Amino acid sequence: MPKIIVIGAGIAGVSTAYALLEQGYDVTVVEWRRYA
């Protein structure tokens, strides 16, 4: 599976990352702030 980077840990970014993880993708979420 390809590696995917999701930029932004808001509700849309986290939801997208979760959906991709459930499908078996290797996902990394990047957020510019220390805590989203």
User: How far is it, in rounded angstroms, from Cα 21 to Cα 9?
Assistant: 15
Residue 25's pLDDT is 98
Residue from 32, 35, 34, 24 nearest 6 by CA: 32
Q: What is the pLDDT of residue 1?
A: 78
Question: Taking a C-beta distance cutoff of 8 angstroms, is the pair 3, 28 a contact?
Answer: yes
pLDDT of 5 > 80? The answer is: yes
Q: Residue 2 in 3-state DSSP? A: coil
Name the band, by pLDDT with cuts 50, 70 and 90, for residue 36: low
Report DSSP letters for 3-36, one per residue.
EEEEE--SHHHHHHHHHHHHTT-EEEEE-SSS--
The model carries a pTM of: 0.82
Note the pLDDT of residue 30. 96
For residue 11, pLDDT beyond 80: yes
Over residues 9-36, the mean pLDDT reads 93
